[in-house]
Amino acid sequence: MVRNNKNKDGKENPGQVSDDELKLLIAKRIKRIRGRLGYTAKRAALEVGISRSALSQIETGRIHINAVTLCKLAYVLQCNVDEFFPKVPNSSSLTESDVTLVAQENEQAADFFKKAFPKAK
């Protein structure tokens, strides 16, 4: 991921986004997808297991969202995680082994993934 939209010489890198721009883009996409489903912030937050205030802060770009919460949001909002991100040329998608690695780092995430993806091995 690009840290900012300037190269090491301090010159602008057109076509690349800063951390803040990326955070706002993700925030807007989360809110748009939630709205498309007709979910209130309270309902979505409850299903994800975070406070409504935390979801509001995520959706306005005031705080960063971690990978586990992002995965949970995708599940609750019935979308793929990649729908939250801009298209990246030559990128690869999340694999089952990636999901397994995330689950190994966090027991709560492991439980969530077992429920969310019962057919995954």
pLDDT in tens, 14-34: 456 678 888 898 999 999 999
Looking at per-residue confidence, does 84 or 94 come out higher? 84
**3-class secondary structure, 12:** strand
Angle in degrees, 0-180, between the axes of helices 107-116 and 96-105, rounded to the nearest 10: 140
**Mean pLDDT along residues 64-92:** 84
Looking at per-residue confidence, does 104 or 77 come out higher? 77
For the ranges 2-16, 50-64, 102-116, which has the lowest average pLDDT?
Answer: 2-16
pLDDT of residue 4: 45
Give all domains of the chain, ordered by start, each with its CATH number: 19-83+93-116 (1.10.260.40)
CA torsion angle 101 22 29 76 (round to 10): 20
pTM: 0.62
